[in-house]
Amino acid sequence: MAGGAGDTKKVLDMDTGSQKVLNMDTLNPCIINMEYSVRGPLVIRAREMQKELKEGKKFPFPYVIRCNIGDCHAMEQSYINFIRQVVASCTYPPLMDSAGFPPDVVAKAKRILEGCGGGSIGAYSDSSGIEIIRKDAAAYIKRRDGGIPANPDTIMLSSGASDGIKSILKLLKQGDGERKTGVMIPIPQYPLYSATLAEYNTMQIGYYLDEETNWSMHVSELKRAITEARAVCNPRAICVLNPGNPTGSVLTRQNIEDIVKFAHDEKLVILADEVYQDNIYAPDREFHSFKKVISEMGGEYAKQELASFHSVSKGYMGECGYRGGYCEYVNFHPEVVAMLRKSLTAKLCPSVSGQVAMDCVVGHPQPGDASYESWLKEKNAVLGTLKEKAKMTVEKLNSLPGIKCNIVQGAMYAFPRLFLPEKAIAKAKAEGKAADFMYAWELLEQKGLCVVPGSGFGQKEGTYHFRMTILPPPAKLEEFLRRLKDFHLEFMERYK
Protein backbone atom coordinates (compact mmCIF):
# COMPACT_ATOMS: atom_id res chain seq x y z
CA MET A 1 0.00 0.00 0.00
CA ALA A 2 1.23 3.52 -0.79
CA GLY A 3 2.57 5.42 2.23
CA GLY A 4 1.67 8.90 3.54
CA ALA A 5 -0.44 10.19 6.42
CA GLY A 6 -3.59 10.35 4.29
CA ASP A 7 -3.32 6.69 3.38
CA THR A 8 -2.70 5.68 7.01
CA LYS A 9 -5.81 7.57 8.10
CA LYS A 10 -7.79 5.83 5.35
CA VAL A 11 -6.58 2.42 6.49
CA LEU A 12 -7.54 3.21 10.08
CA ASP A 13 -10.99 4.25 8.92
CA MET A 14 -11.27 1.13 6.83
CA ASP A 15 -10.43 -1.03 9.80
CA THR A 16 -12.96 0.49 12.19
CA GLY A 17 -16.39 -0.32 10.88
CA SER A 18 -18.13 2.24 13.11
CA GLN A 19 -16.45 5.09 11.21
CA LYS A 20 -18.07 4.01 7.96
CA VAL A 21 -21.17 5.80 6.73
CA LEU A 22 -22.62 2.36 6.16
CA ASN A 23 -22.13 0.00 9.10
CA MET A 24 -24.23 -2.48 11.04
CA ASP A 25 -25.91 0.40 12.92
CA THR A 26 -26.86 2.27 9.77
CA LEU A 27 -27.52 -0.63 7.40
CA ASN A 28 -31.08 -1.28 6.22
CA PRO A 29 -32.38 -3.53 9.07
CA CYS A 30 -34.40 -5.56 6.57
CA ILE A 31 -31.16 -6.76 4.97
CA ILE A 32 -29.81 -7.75 8.38
CA ASN A 33 -33.02 -9.69 9.08
CA MET A 34 -33.09 -11.65 5.84
CA GLU A 35 -31.65 -15.17 5.64
CA TYR A 36 -31.19 -17.46 2.67
CA SER A 37 -30.38 -20.88 3.99
CA VAL A 38 -29.63 -22.73 0.76
CA ARG A 39 -26.47 -20.68 0.51
CA GLY A 40 -25.79 -20.46 4.27
CA PRO A 41 -22.77 -21.37 6.46
CA LEU A 42 -22.78 -25.04 5.47
CA VAL A 43 -22.33 -24.11 1.83
CA ILE A 44 -19.50 -21.73 2.69
CA ARG A 45 -17.79 -24.54 4.61
CA ALA A 46 -18.41 -27.01 1.75
CA ARG A 47 -16.70 -24.61 -0.67
CA GLU A 48 -13.77 -24.21 1.71
CA MET A 49 -13.43 -27.98 1.98
CA GLN A 50 -13.49 -28.37 -1.81
CA LYS A 51 -10.67 -25.84 -2.02
CA GLU A 52 -8.70 -27.61 0.72
CA LEU A 53 -9.14 -30.97 -1.02
CA LYS A 54 -7.79 -29.45 -4.24
CA GLU A 55 -4.79 -28.14 -2.32
CA GLY A 56 -4.06 -31.66 -1.10
CA LYS A 57 -5.49 -31.55 2.43
CA LYS A 58 -6.61 -35.01 3.54
CA PHE A 59 -10.22 -35.74 4.44
CA PRO A 60 -11.87 -39.12 5.03
CA PHE A 61 -13.54 -38.80 1.59
CA PRO A 62 -12.19 -38.01 -1.88
CA TYR A 63 -14.62 -35.20 -2.76
CA VAL A 64 -17.57 -33.22 -1.48
CA ILE A 65 -21.02 -34.03 -2.89
CA ARG A 66 -23.24 -30.98 -2.84
CA CYS A 67 -26.95 -31.63 -2.61
CA ASN A 68 -27.81 -28.26 -1.14
CA ILE A 69 -29.18 -26.38 -4.12
CA GLY A 70 -31.33 -27.07 -7.18
CA ASP A 71 -28.56 -26.15 -9.58
CA CYS A 72 -28.97 -28.91 -12.19
CA HIS A 73 -26.01 -28.30 -14.48
CA ALA A 74 -23.67 -27.86 -11.54
CA MET A 75 -24.61 -31.45 -10.75
CA GLU A 76 -23.68 -32.64 -14.25
CA GLN A 77 -27.16 -32.64 -15.82
CA SER A 78 -26.60 -32.24 -19.54
CA TYR A 79 -27.99 -29.33 -21.48
CA ILE A 80 -30.64 -29.61 -24.17
CA ASN A 81 -28.96 -29.10 -27.55
CA PHE A 82 -31.88 -27.17 -29.05
CA ILE A 83 -31.72 -24.51 -26.30
CA ARG A 84 -27.97 -24.07 -26.56
CA GLN A 85 -28.00 -23.96 -30.37
CA VAL A 86 -30.64 -21.23 -30.45
CA VAL A 87 -28.93 -19.18 -27.74
CA ALA A 88 -25.55 -19.66 -29.46
CA SER A 89 -27.00 -18.56 -32.81
CA CYS A 90 -28.55 -15.45 -31.27
CA THR A 91 -25.32 -14.67 -29.43
CA TYR A 92 -23.02 -15.14 -32.44
CA PRO A 93 -25.12 -15.04 -35.65
CA PRO A 94 -22.34 -16.29 -38.02
CA LEU A 95 -22.86 -19.71 -36.39
CA MET A 96 -26.15 -19.93 -38.24
CA ASP A 97 -24.18 -20.24 -41.50
CA SER A 98 -21.22 -22.25 -40.27
CA ALA A 99 -22.27 -24.57 -37.46
CA GLY A 100 -24.62 -26.85 -39.37
CA PHE A 101 -27.46 -26.28 -36.90
CA PRO A 102 -30.88 -27.72 -37.87
CA PRO A 103 -33.16 -25.40 -39.90
CA ASP A 104 -35.70 -24.91 -37.09
CA VAL A 105 -32.88 -23.65 -34.84
CA VAL A 106 -31.79 -21.13 -37.47
CA ALA A 107 -35.39 -20.05 -38.16
CA LYS A 108 -36.06 -19.50 -34.45
CA ALA A 109 -32.85 -17.56 -33.90
CA LYS A 110 -33.58 -15.31 -36.90
CA ARG A 111 -37.11 -14.67 -35.68
CA ILE A 112 -35.87 -13.75 -32.19
CA LEU A 113 -33.17 -11.45 -33.56
CA GLU A 114 -35.78 -9.67 -35.68
CA GLY A 115 -37.53 -8.85 -32.42
CA CYS A 116 -34.36 -7.40 -30.85
CA GLY A 117 -33.22 -3.79 -31.10
CA GLY A 118 -30.70 -3.54 -33.94
CA GLY A 119 -31.09 -7.30 -34.47
CA SER A 120 -28.81 -7.97 -31.49
CA ILE A 121 -29.37 -9.64 -28.13
CA GLY A 122 -26.90 -7.10 -26.82
CA ALA A 123 -29.68 -4.49 -26.97
CA TYR A 124 -32.07 -3.73 -24.11
CA SER A 125 -35.51 -5.20 -24.72
CA ASP A 126 -38.91 -3.86 -23.65
CA SER A 127 -39.14 -3.90 -19.87
CA SER A 128 -41.74 -6.69 -20.01
CA GLY A 129 -39.59 -8.62 -22.47
CA ILE A 130 -39.39 -9.17 -26.23
CA GLU A 131 -42.89 -9.13 -27.71
CA ILE A 132 -42.59 -12.26 -29.86
CA ILE A 133 -41.34 -14.23 -26.86
CA ARG A 134 -44.30 -13.03 -24.80
CA LYS A 135 -46.54 -14.17 -27.68
CA ASP A 136 -44.82 -17.58 -27.67
CA ALA A 137 -45.33 -17.78 -23.89
CA ALA A 138 -49.05 -17.02 -24.36
CA ALA A 139 -49.31 -19.75 -27.02
CA TYR A 140 -47.51 -22.20 -24.71
CA ILE A 141 -49.85 -21.45 -21.79
CA LYS A 142 -52.87 -21.91 -24.09
CA ARG A 143 -51.57 -25.30 -25.30
CA ARG A 144 -50.70 -26.38 -21.76
CA ASP A 145 -54.11 -25.39 -20.40
CA GLY A 146 -56.15 -27.17 -23.06
CA GLY A 147 -57.07 -24.12 -25.12
CA ILE A 148 -57.78 -21.54 -22.40
CA PRO A 149 -56.47 -18.32 -23.94
CA ALA A 150 -53.54 -16.31 -22.53
CA ASN A 151 -52.80 -12.67 -23.29
CA PRO A 152 -49.18 -11.76 -24.19
CA ASP A 153 -49.81 -8.27 -22.77
CA THR A 154 -50.24 -9.67 -19.28
CA ILE A 155 -47.09 -11.75 -19.43
CA MET A 156 -43.80 -10.31 -18.28
CA LEU A 157 -40.50 -12.01 -18.90
CA SER A 158 -38.13 -11.97 -15.96
CA SER A 159 -34.54 -12.71 -15.00
CA GLY A 160 -35.39 -16.09 -13.52
CA ALA A 161 -38.66 -16.69 -11.71
CA SER A 162 -37.14 -15.00 -8.62
CA ASP A 163 -37.16 -11.64 -10.33
CA GLY A 164 -40.84 -11.98 -11.32
CA ILE A 165 -41.81 -13.14 -7.82
CA LYS A 166 -40.05 -10.15 -6.28
CA SER A 167 -41.73 -7.75 -8.73
CA ILE A 168 -45.17 -9.00 -7.69
CA LEU A 169 -44.41 -9.16 -3.95
CA LYS A 170 -43.19 -5.56 -4.19
CA LEU A 171 -46.64 -4.46 -5.39
CA LEU A 172 -48.25 -5.77 -2.23
CA LYS A 173 -46.20 -4.00 0.42
CA GLN A 174 -48.21 -1.36 2.26
CA GLY A 175 -48.98 0.02 5.72
CA ASP A 176 -47.56 -0.29 9.22
CA GLY A 177 -48.56 -2.03 12.43
CA GLU A 178 -51.86 -3.83 12.11
CA ARG A 179 -52.26 -2.43 8.59
CA LYS A 180 -48.96 -3.85 7.43
CA THR A 181 -49.33 -6.26 4.50
CA GLY A 182 -49.12 -9.93 5.37
CA VAL A 183 -48.37 -12.66 2.84
CA MET A 184 -49.20 -16.31 3.45
CA ILE A 185 -46.34 -18.71 2.74
CA PRO A 186 -46.14 -22.46 3.29
CA ILE A 187 -44.02 -24.01 6.02
CA PRO A 188 -41.74 -25.53 4.97
CA GLN A 189 -41.07 -23.07 2.12
CA TYR A 190 -38.44 -22.13 -0.40
CA PRO A 191 -36.45 -19.38 1.38
CA LEU A 192 -36.73 -16.88 -1.49
CA TYR A 193 -40.14 -16.07 -0.02
CA SER A 194 -39.12 -15.55 3.61
CA ALA A 195 -35.99 -13.66 2.49
CA THR A 196 -37.91 -11.34 0.15
CA LEU A 197 -40.67 -10.67 2.65
CA ALA A 198 -38.01 -9.81 5.24
CA GLU A 199 -36.27 -7.55 2.72
CA TYR A 200 -39.56 -5.77 1.93
CA ASN A 201 -40.53 -5.50 5.59
CA THR A 202 -43.73 -7.42 4.88
CA MET A 203 -45.27 -9.81 7.40
CA GLN A 204 -44.89 -13.56 6.84
CA ILE A 205 -47.96 -15.60 7.64
CA GLY A 206 -46.85 -19.22 7.81
CA TYR A 207 -49.33 -22.00 7.07
CA TYR A 208 -48.16 -25.53 7.82
CA LEU A 209 -48.22 -28.27 5.22
CA ASP A 210 -49.24 -31.66 6.59
CA GLU A 211 -46.30 -34.03 6.61
CA GLU A 212 -48.53 -36.97 7.61
CA THR A 213 -50.47 -36.72 4.32
CA ASN A 214 -47.50 -36.16 1.98
CA TRP A 215 -47.32 -32.44 2.67
CA SER A 216 -50.85 -31.71 1.52
CA MET A 217 -52.52 -28.43 2.31
CA HIS A 218 -55.62 -28.27 4.52
CA VAL A 219 -58.03 -25.37 4.33
CA SER A 220 -58.57 -25.61 8.10
CA GLU A 221 -54.88 -24.78 8.56
CA LEU A 222 -55.11 -21.88 6.08
CA LYS A 223 -58.06 -20.55 8.10
CA ARG A 224 -56.20 -20.92 11.37
CA ALA A 225 -53.21 -19.05 10.01
CA ILE A 226 -55.16 -16.17 8.51
CA THR A 227 -57.43 -15.76 11.54
CA GLU A 228 -54.44 -15.43 13.86
CA ALA A 229 -52.65 -13.13 11.41
CA ARG A 230 -55.57 -10.69 11.06
CA ALA A 231 -54.90 -9.55 14.64
CA VAL A 232 -51.44 -8.27 13.70
CA CYS A 233 -51.44 -7.50 9.96
CA ASN A 234 -53.45 -7.15 6.79
CA PRO A 235 -53.24 -10.42 4.80
CA ARG A 236 -53.33 -9.72 1.08
CA ALA A 237 -51.77 -12.65 -0.74
CA ILE A 238 -51.10 -16.37 -0.56
CA CYS A 239 -48.04 -18.03 -2.12
CA VAL A 240 -48.44 -21.63 -3.27
CA LEU A 241 -45.52 -23.71 -4.51
CA ASN A 242 -46.70 -26.50 -6.79
CA PRO A 243 -44.83 -28.84 -7.15
CA GLY A 244 -43.35 -27.98 -3.78
CA ASN A 245 -39.87 -27.08 -2.66
CA PRO A 246 -38.53 -28.50 -0.34
CA THR A 247 -41.38 -31.00 0.03
CA GLY A 248 -41.46 -32.58 -3.45
CA SER A 249 -45.25 -32.75 -3.19
CA VAL A 250 -47.77 -32.16 -6.00
CA LEU A 251 -51.18 -30.67 -5.24
CA THR A 252 -54.33 -32.46 -6.32
CA ARG A 253 -56.86 -30.60 -8.43
CA GLN A 254 -59.27 -30.65 -5.45
CA ASN A 255 -56.60 -29.08 -3.24
CA ILE A 256 -56.09 -26.29 -5.78
CA GLU A 257 -59.82 -25.62 -6.01
CA ASP A 258 -59.99 -25.39 -2.22
CA ILE A 259 -57.14 -22.87 -2.20
CA VAL A 260 -58.85 -20.79 -4.91
CA LYS A 261 -62.09 -20.72 -2.89
CA PHE A 262 -60.18 -19.77 0.22
CA ALA A 263 -58.29 -16.97 -1.57
CA HIS A 264 -61.52 -15.69 -3.08
CA ASP A 265 -63.37 -15.69 0.26
CA GLU A 266 -60.47 -14.04 2.08
CA LYS A 267 -59.74 -11.54 -0.73
CA LEU A 268 -56.19 -12.63 -1.38
CA VAL A 269 -54.06 -12.46 -4.51
CA ILE A 270 -52.65 -15.90 -5.42
CA LEU A 271 -48.95 -16.20 -6.27
CA ALA A 272 -48.59 -19.63 -7.90
CA ASP A 273 -44.97 -20.73 -8.12
CA GLU A 274 -45.15 -23.32 -10.89
CA VAL A 275 -41.46 -23.54 -11.81
CA TYR A 276 -41.48 -27.35 -11.43
CA GLN A 277 -44.47 -27.89 -13.74
CA ASP A 278 -42.50 -30.38 -15.88
CA ASN A 279 -41.11 -32.27 -12.87
CA ILE A 280 -43.88 -34.72 -11.98
CA TYR A 281 -42.86 -38.28 -11.14
CA ALA A 282 -45.72 -39.89 -9.18
CA PRO A 283 -48.00 -41.90 -11.48
CA ASP A 284 -51.08 -40.74 -9.57
CA ARG A 285 -50.25 -37.03 -9.91
CA GLU A 286 -50.42 -34.53 -12.74
CA PHE A 287 -49.74 -30.84 -12.97
CA HIS A 288 -52.80 -28.56 -12.86
CA SER A 289 -52.04 -24.91 -13.39
CA PHE A 290 -53.88 -22.42 -11.20
CA LYS A 291 -54.77 -20.49 -14.36
CA LYS A 292 -56.58 -23.49 -15.81
CA VAL A 293 -58.31 -24.30 -12.54
CA ILE A 294 -59.69 -20.78 -11.96
CA SER A 295 -60.88 -20.62 -15.58
CA GLU A 296 -62.63 -23.96 -15.32
CA MET A 297 -64.16 -23.16 -11.93
CA GLY A 298 -65.79 -20.20 -13.69
CA GLY A 299 -68.05 -17.50 -12.20
CA GLU A 300 -66.42 -15.31 -9.56
CA TYR A 301 -63.46 -17.68 -9.29
CA ALA A 302 -62.49 -17.02 -12.90
CA LYS A 303 -61.92 -13.40 -11.84
CA GLN A 304 -59.43 -14.36 -9.10
CA GLU A 305 -56.27 -12.22 -9.13
CA LEU A 306 -53.44 -14.60 -9.90
CA ALA A 307 -49.76 -14.41 -10.80
CA SER A 308 -48.13 -17.60 -12.05
CA PHE A 309 -44.37 -18.08 -12.42
CA HIS A 310 -42.25 -20.28 -14.63
CA SER A 311 -38.50 -20.59 -15.19
CA VAL A 312 -35.78 -22.04 -17.43
CA SER A 313 -33.86 -23.06 -14.30
CA LYS A 314 -35.87 -26.22 -13.54
CA GLY A 315 -37.87 -28.79 -15.50
CA TYR A 316 -35.74 -30.71 -18.01
CA MET A 317 -33.79 -27.57 -18.90
CA GLY A 318 -31.96 -26.78 -15.67
CA GLU A 319 -30.51 -23.62 -17.21
CA CYS A 320 -30.19 -21.75 -13.90
CA GLY A 321 -27.38 -19.48 -15.07
CA TYR A 322 -29.27 -17.91 -17.96
CA ARG A 323 -31.76 -16.30 -15.58
CA GLY A 324 -34.86 -16.79 -17.72
CA GLY A 325 -38.43 -16.81 -16.50
CA TYR A 326 -41.89 -15.39 -16.99
CA CYS A 327 -44.88 -14.34 -14.96
CA GLU A 328 -48.44 -14.41 -16.25
CA TYR A 329 -50.65 -12.09 -14.19
CA VAL A 330 -54.38 -12.34 -14.71
CA ASN A 331 -57.36 -10.35 -13.46
CA PHE A 332 -55.18 -7.51 -12.16
CA HIS A 333 -56.78 -4.04 -12.09
CA PRO A 334 -55.73 -2.12 -15.26
CA GLU A 335 -54.28 0.70 -13.15
CA VAL A 336 -52.22 -1.82 -11.19
CA VAL A 337 -50.98 -3.30 -14.46
CA ALA A 338 -49.87 0.19 -15.50
CA MET A 339 -48.03 0.63 -12.18
CA LEU A 340 -46.41 -2.80 -12.50
CA ARG A 341 -45.18 -1.90 -15.98
CA LYS A 342 -43.87 1.41 -14.65
CA SER A 343 -41.96 -0.37 -11.89
CA LEU A 344 -40.43 -2.74 -14.46
CA THR A 345 -39.12 0.17 -16.53
CA ALA A 346 -36.84 1.15 -13.65
CA LYS A 347 -35.08 -2.22 -14.07
CA LEU A 348 -34.67 -1.60 -17.83
CA CYS A 349 -35.20 -5.20 -18.94
CA PRO A 350 -34.72 -8.83 -17.94
CA SER A 351 -31.61 -10.69 -19.17
CA VAL A 352 -32.04 -11.02 -22.95
CA SER A 353 -30.08 -14.32 -23.14
CA GLY A 354 -32.46 -15.56 -20.47
CA GLN A 355 -35.43 -14.46 -22.58
CA VAL A 356 -34.02 -16.38 -25.56
CA ALA A 357 -33.62 -19.51 -23.40
CA MET A 358 -37.20 -19.04 -22.16
CA ASP A 359 -38.39 -18.87 -25.76
CA CYS A 360 -36.84 -22.28 -26.39
CA VAL A 361 -38.99 -23.65 -23.57
CA VAL A 362 -42.29 -21.99 -24.46
CA GLY A 363 -41.61 -22.39 -28.19
CA HIS A 364 -39.99 -25.83 -28.13
CA PRO A 365 -39.81 -27.93 -31.31
CA GLN A 366 -43.07 -29.46 -32.53
CA PRO A 367 -43.61 -32.79 -34.35
CA GLY A 368 -42.25 -32.44 -37.88
CA ASP A 369 -39.56 -29.90 -36.90
CA ALA A 370 -35.98 -30.97 -37.62
CA SER A 371 -35.00 -30.88 -33.92
CA TYR A 372 -38.17 -32.46 -32.56
CA GLU A 373 -37.05 -36.09 -32.20
CA SER A 374 -33.69 -35.31 -30.58
CA TRP A 375 -35.24 -32.63 -28.35
CA LEU A 376 -37.89 -35.09 -27.13
CA LYS A 377 -35.30 -37.80 -26.52
CA GLU A 378 -33.07 -35.48 -24.49
CA LYS A 379 -36.01 -34.12 -22.50
CA ASN A 380 -37.36 -37.59 -21.68
CA ALA A 381 -33.88 -38.79 -20.71
CA VAL A 382 -33.48 -36.00 -18.13
CA LEU A 383 -36.97 -36.39 -16.70
CA GLY A 384 -36.76 -40.21 -16.75
CA THR A 385 -33.51 -40.18 -14.77
CA LEU A 386 -34.92 -37.69 -12.26
CA LYS A 387 -37.92 -39.97 -11.76
CA GLU A 388 -35.71 -43.00 -11.07
CA LYS A 389 -33.54 -40.99 -8.69
CA ALA A 390 -36.61 -39.71 -6.83
CA LYS A 391 -37.72 -43.31 -6.21
CA MET A 392 -34.27 -44.59 -5.25
CA THR A 393 -33.67 -41.69 -2.83
CA VAL A 394 -36.91 -42.22 -0.94
CA GLU A 395 -36.44 -46.00 -0.74
CA LYS A 396 -32.91 -45.72 0.61
CA LEU A 397 -33.77 -42.98 3.08
CA ASN A 398 -36.72 -44.95 4.42
CA SER A 399 -34.54 -48.01 4.95
CA LEU A 400 -32.65 -46.12 7.67
CA PRO A 401 -33.82 -46.19 11.30
CA GLY A 402 -34.83 -42.73 12.55
CA ILE A 403 -35.57 -41.35 9.08
CA LYS A 404 -38.97 -41.04 7.43
CA CYS A 405 -39.30 -39.55 3.98
CA ASN A 406 -42.46 -38.78 2.03
CA ILE A 407 -42.71 -39.79 -1.61
CA VAL A 408 -41.00 -37.33 -3.94
CA GLN A 409 -43.97 -36.76 -6.23
CA GLY A 410 -42.33 -33.94 -8.14
CA ALA A 411 -39.72 -31.11 -8.13
CA MET A 412 -36.10 -32.03 -7.30
CA TYR A 413 -35.87 -32.54 -3.54
CA ALA A 414 -36.38 -34.98 -0.72
CA PHE A 415 -37.18 -33.54 2.72
CA PRO A 416 -36.80 -36.45 5.15
CA ARG A 417 -37.76 -36.18 8.79
CA LEU A 418 -35.09 -37.04 11.32
CA PHE A 419 -36.12 -38.64 14.57
CA LEU A 420 -33.02 -37.64 16.53
CA PRO A 421 -32.03 -39.08 19.93
CA GLU A 422 -32.70 -36.85 22.94
CA LYS A 423 -28.98 -36.73 23.72
CA ALA A 424 -28.23 -35.22 20.30
CA ILE A 425 -31.00 -32.65 20.70
CA ALA A 426 -29.70 -31.70 24.17
CA LYS A 427 -26.12 -31.36 22.92
CA ALA A 428 -27.20 -29.10 20.04
CA LYS A 429 -29.26 -27.01 22.45
CA ALA A 430 -26.32 -26.62 24.83
CA GLU A 431 -24.25 -25.38 21.88
CA GLY A 432 -26.98 -22.95 20.81
CA LYS A 433 -27.62 -24.77 17.53
CA ALA A 434 -30.66 -26.30 15.90
CA ALA A 435 -30.33 -30.10 16.15
CA ASP A 436 -30.68 -30.60 12.39
CA PHE A 437 -28.03 -27.96 11.79
CA MET A 438 -25.67 -29.93 14.05
CA TYR A 439 -26.54 -33.13 12.15
CA ALA A 440 -25.94 -31.47 8.77
CA TRP A 441 -22.68 -29.90 9.96
CA GLU A 442 -21.28 -33.21 11.20
CA LEU A 443 -22.44 -34.89 7.98
CA LEU A 444 -20.42 -32.37 6.00
CA GLU A 445 -17.32 -32.56 8.18
CA GLN A 446 -17.28 -36.35 8.45
CA LYS A 447 -18.59 -37.47 5.07
CA GLY A 448 -18.30 -34.47 2.77
CA LEU A 449 -22.05 -34.31 2.07
CA CYS A 450 -23.70 -30.92 1.85
CA VAL A 451 -27.45 -30.68 2.63
CA VAL A 452 -29.59 -27.90 4.09
CA PRO A 453 -31.05 -28.32 7.61
CA GLY A 454 -34.83 -28.19 7.87
CA SER A 455 -34.60 -25.14 10.13
CA GLY A 456 -33.69 -23.14 6.99
CA PHE A 457 -37.10 -23.82 5.43
CA GLY A 458 -39.29 -23.72 8.53
CA GLN A 459 -40.75 -26.82 10.16
CA LYS A 460 -43.13 -27.74 12.97
CA GLU A 461 -41.65 -27.00 16.40
CA GLY A 462 -39.86 -30.08 17.73
CA THR A 463 -39.42 -31.74 14.33
CA TYR A 464 -36.13 -32.02 12.45
CA HIS A 465 -35.44 -32.47 8.75
CA PHE A 466 -32.92 -31.87 6.04
CA ARG A 467 -33.36 -31.10 2.38
CA MET A 468 -31.30 -32.86 -0.24
CA THR A 469 -31.57 -32.54 -3.99
CA ILE A 470 -31.92 -35.61 -6.20
CA LEU A 471 -29.68 -33.98 -8.81
CA PRO A 472 -26.31 -35.80 -8.72
CA PRO A 473 -25.87 -38.38 -11.50
CA PRO A 474 -27.20 -41.82 -10.40
CA ALA A 475 -23.82 -43.31 -9.38
CA LYS A 476 -22.93 -40.23 -7.35
CA LEU A 477 -26.35 -40.12 -5.76
CA GLU A 478 -25.90 -43.76 -4.73
CA GLU A 479 -22.54 -42.87 -3.26
CA PHE A 480 -24.18 -39.94 -1.42
CA LEU A 481 -26.79 -42.30 0.04
CA ARG A 482 -24.09 -44.83 1.05
CA ARG A 483 -22.03 -42.20 2.85
CA LEU A 484 -25.21 -40.83 4.46
CA LYS A 485 -26.14 -44.32 5.71
CA ASP A 486 -22.73 -44.81 7.35
CA PHE A 487 -22.90 -41.40 8.98
CA HIS A 488 -26.50 -41.73 10.10
CA LEU A 489 -26.08 -45.15 11.73
CA GLU A 490 -22.95 -43.99 13.57
CA PHE A 491 -24.66 -40.72 14.66
CA MET A 492 -27.72 -42.53 16.02
CA GLU A 493 -25.51 -45.04 17.86
CA ARG A 494 -23.30 -42.31 19.33
CA TYR A 495 -26.23 -40.35 20.79
CA LYS A 496 -28.59 -43.20 21.63
> According to the binding rule CB under 6 A, does residue 313 interact with ligand PLP?
yes
Q: What are the residues facing 204 on neighbouring strands?
A: 183
Q: Which residues 162-201 are close enough to bind ligand PLP by CB under 6 A?
A: 162, 190, 192
Give the Cα separation of 181 and 170 in Å (integer): 11
Decide whether 162 or 355 has the Cβ nearer to ligand PLP. 162
Q: Which stretch binds ligand PLP (CB under 6 A): 48-56, 90-98, 156-164, 482-490?
A: 156-164
Decide whether 49 or 271 has the Cβ nearer to ligand PLP. 271
Q: Where are the beta strands (DSSP E) in 260-305?
A: 269-273
The angle formed by the CA atoms of residues 15, 17 and 20, to the nearest 5 degrees, is 105
Give the Å distances, CA to CA, from 495 to 382, 392, 401, 433, 491: 40, 28, 13, 16, 6
> According to the binding rule CB under 6 A, does residue 126 interact with ligand PLP?
no
Q: Which stretch binds ligand PLP (CB under 6 A): 14-22, 94-102, 159-167, 471-479?
A: 159-167
Q: Do the Cβ atoms of 100 and 496 come closer than 8 Å? A: no
Helix, strand, coil share (%) of the chain residues, nearest 5? 50, 15, 35
Decide whether 69 or 428 has the Cβ nearer to ligand PLP. 69
CA dihedral of residues 419, 422, 426, 429 (deg, nearest 10): 20
Decide whether 87 or 241 has the Cβ nearer to ligand PLP. 241
Among positions 191, 325, 350, 448, the unique one binding ligand PLP when judged by CB under 6 A: 325
Give the Cα separation of 125 and 352 in Å (integer): 7
Among positions 40, 70, 448, 472, the unique one binding ligand PLP when judged by CB under 6 A: 70
Decide whether 89 or 245 has the Cβ nearer to ligand PLP. 245
Decide whether 35 or 48 has the Cβ nearer to ligand PLP. 35
Distance of CA 35 to the CA centre of its chain: 15
> According to the binding rule CB under 6 A, does residue 320 interact with ligand PLP?
yes
> According to the binding rule CB under 6 A, does residue 278 interact with ligand PLP?
no
CA atoms within 13 A on the CB side of 464: 18
Among positions 113, 150, 161, 327, the unique one binding ligand PLP when judged by CB under 6 A: 161
Q: How far is the CB of 273 from ligand PLP (least distance, A)?
A: 5
Q: Do the Cβ atoms of 185 and 244 come closer than 8 Å? A: no
Q: Do the Cβ atoms of 416 and 405 come closer than 8 Å? A: yes
Q: Which string of x and - marks every residue 236-275 that binds ligand PLP (by CB under 6 A)?
A: -----x---x---------------------------x-x
Q: How far is the CB of 164 from ligand PLP (least distance, A)?
A: 8
Q: How far is the CB of 247 from ligand PLP (least distance, A)?
A: 10
Helix H or strand E segment including 228 = helix 219-230
Q: How far is the CB of 412 from ligand PLP (least distance, A)?
A: 8
Give the number of other CB atoms < 10 A from CB of residue 289.
22
Among positions 68, 308, 311, 393, the unique one binding ligand PLP when judged by CB under 6 A: 311
Size of the site for ligand PLP (CB under 6 A): 14
Q: Which stretch binds ligand PLP (CB under 6 A): 15-23, 48-56, 157-165, 261-269?
A: 157-165
CA atoms within 13 A on the CB side of 385: 19
Closest CA to 448 of 24, 57, 137, 155: 57
Ranked by CB distance to ligand PLP, the top (closest) residue is 160
Decide whether 289 or 371 has the Cβ nearer to ligand PLP. 289
Decide whether 371 or 406 has the Cβ nearer to ligand PLP. 406
CA atoms within 13 A on the CB side of 390: 22
Give the Cα separation of 119 and 134 in Å (integer): 17
> According to the binding rule CB under 6 A, does residue 115 interact with ligand PLP?
no
Give the Å distances, CA to CA, from 238 to 63, 185, 204: 41, 6, 10
Q: Which residues 340-379 are close enough to bind ligand PLP by CB under 6 A?
A: none
Decide whether 255 or 371 has the Cβ nearer to ligand PLP. 255
Decide whether 325 or 448 has the Cβ nearer to ligand PLP. 325
Q: Do the Cβ atoms of 277 and 244 come closer than 8 Å? A: no
Handedness of CA 127, 131, 134, 138 (dihedral sign): positive
Q: How far is the CB of 245 from ligand PLP (least distance, A)?
A: 4
Q: Which stretch binds ligand PLP (CB under 6 A): 56-64, 99-107, 160-168, 174-182?
A: 160-168
Binding region for ligand PLP (CB under 6 A): 70, 160-162, 190, 192, 241, 245, 273, 275, 311, 313, 320, 325
